[in-house]
Amino acid sequence: MSMMKKNIALAFLLALSSQGQLEAQAGTKTQADAKISARTVAMHRRLLTLDTHLDTPIHFTRPGWDFADRHRLASDPSQVDLPRMKRGALDGGFFVIYTPQGARTPEATAKARDHALVRAVEIHEMAARLHDKVALATRADDAERIAAQGKIIVYQSIENAYPLSGDLGLLDSFYALGVRMIGPVHFRNNDFGDSSTDPNGPEYHGLSPLGRELVARANALGIMLDASHASDDVLDQLLDLSKAPIILSHSGCEGVYDHPRNVDDPRLKRLADKGGVIQINSFGAYLAATGPNPERDAALLKLNQQYGDHHAMTPHDTAQFVAARAAILRRYPGFERSYAQFEAHLIHALRVLGLDHVGIGLDWDGGGGVIGMADVTAIPRITQTLLDAGYSEGDIAKIWGGNVLRVMKAVEAVAATDNKSGG
Ligand SMILES: [Zn+2]
């Protein structure tokens, strides 16, 4: 087993857990009880729909797993693949190059760099192999054109800039590979700045000097800055420093549930004032509290440890893992959050910010998913919710993609101006 494969297996396992707290996966979530009219489905299919945080590349190198195949929640933890995107009418989104935060040493940073570069190559390999069904996109204008060809739109983003901490010049390399969004941090502080969830608290009280360089270089290149996972101070400083609007690619509202990963209303308003957008996620632990259940947590931990010994799960092991996990969650119910709890964040953001500053980033394959919306096939339910809340087709088109493309265009315009002025 190569180190790279090991890292990928580890990343996969990390996706199944979070902050030491074990996350809900799709095993027991059902697509229960959603009343979605034929009119809604037809409208949903007409819209250009983008999700700004798809962790699906985490599955690309799993043995026997293919993005072109349809997978089932009963036997596989993945939530997005090509057939299911077609079924749910998700036209595309940002495919994430995610790197777990590791040690901040030159050796570990070099490994992280290799991991991220390989992940970008894997996304390119997928797009090349399936070129009649998907297309890589780098500009806001690409989305409509690719959708009109009936292909899936594949933008690329980086979650956690840690792989770049040894050499910020790599940002230019990732730009050349097509990356158009970057979030400086993940669960822990790194050389770029503070995370919202580092158990040791803030280190820089915002961005580090390197983090400030990242902002300037991202602006100059035309890469969107993503404040999901960043501390409030980092978000404030991104809003101060960035010449272009910024994005929260997968976040929630502190006004609904007080969690460090969620953002308070005054900050959301500042984000909107600067032209930015919050993309609402469906990551259970950030949506609502659940009561403590030590037996369940112990059972999930034991299961993860048992399978964590595997370097890369075979389809057979994966199916056993998913079934065992579902059995634990059935035995100790109340862990998985509901669609209504997701919806509360979406409606709150719309109420506070208006419809020009809210979108969708469900964190599929990164811990997202709720009871009633367990994989990408269920997303027409969001369109139904928005229709029921009184939004028009034009409004809903903004929420499903228009807003993020507007932010992308603004980012492109800032880069063009930067380059013209010889910056
Ligand atoms: Zn994330």
For 322-370, the pLDDT digits (tens) are: 899 889 988 888 888 999 999 999 999 999 999 999 999 999 999 999 9
Cα of 38 from ligand 1 centre, angstroms: 33
Q: Average pLDDT of 159-163?
A: 98
Tell me the torsion sign for CA atoms 72, 124, 364, 16. Answer: positive
Cα of 363 from ligand 1 centre, angstroms: 7
DSSP E strands in 245-382: the ranges are: 247-253, 262-263, 277-280, 358-360
Cα of 69 from ligand 1 centre, angstroms: 25
Cα of 366 from ligand 1 centre, angstroms: 7
Cα of 215 from ligand 1 centre, angstroms: 19
Cα of 260 from ligand 1 centre, angstroms: 13
Cα of 111 from ligand 1 centre, angstroms: 20
Cα of 186 from ligand 1 centre, angstroms: 7
Cα of 284 from ligand 1 centre, angstroms: 12
Cα of 229 from ligand 1 centre, angstroms: 7
Burial class (CB within 10 angstroms; exposed 0-12, middle 13-18, buried 19+) of 290 = middle
Cα of 388 from ligand 1 centre, angstroms: 29
* Number of domain units in the chain: 1
Question: In this model, does residue 40 exceed pLDDT 70?
Answer: yes
Q: Contact 79/53 with Cβ under 8 angstroms?
A: no
Cα of 291 from ligand 1 centre, angstroms: 23
The average confidence (pLDDT) of the chain is 91
Cα of 370 from ligand 1 centre, angstroms: 16
Give me the residues paired with residue 358 across strands.
Answer: 278
Number of other residues whose CB lies within 10 A of the CB of residue 285:
19
Phi, psi for residue 203 in degrees, rounded to 5: -110, -40
At 5, the pLDDT band (50, 70, 90 cuts) reads very low
Cα of 42 from ligand 1 centre, angstroms: 31
Cα of 37 from ligand 1 centre, angstroms: 32
Is pTM beyond 0.95 here?
Answer: no
Q: What is the Cα–Cα distance from 101 to 188, expressed in whole angstroms?
A: 7
CATH number reported for the structural domain that contains residue 282 in this entry: 3.20.20.140
Cα of 143 from ligand 1 centre, angstroms: 23
Q: Contact 403/63 with Cβ under 8 angstroms?
A: no
Closest listed residue to residue 340, CA positions, set 383, 385, 374: 385
Cα of 261 from ligand 1 centre, angstroms: 9
Cα of 247 from ligand 1 centre, angstroms: 13
Give me the residues paired with residue 193 across strands.
Answer: 190, 207
Cα of 121 from ligand 1 centre, angstroms: 21
How long, in residues, is the chain?
423
Q: What is the Cα–Cα distance from 282 to 360, expressed in whole angstroms?
A: 9
Cα of 421 from ligand 1 centre, angstroms: 35
Closest listed residue to residue 368, CA positions, set 400, 339, 398, 325: 339
Q: What is the Cα–Cα distance from 299 to 139, expressed in whole angstroms?
A: 46
Number of other residues whose CB lies within 10 A of the CB of residue 323:
12
Give per-residue pLDDT as tens, 255-275. Answer: 999 999 999 999 999 999 999
Give per-residue pLDDT as tens, 11-22. Answer: 344 344 332 233
Give per-residue pLDDT as tens, 202-247. Answer: 999 999 999 999 999 999 999 999 999 999 999 999 999 999 999 9
Q: What domain range includes position 377?
A: 3-420
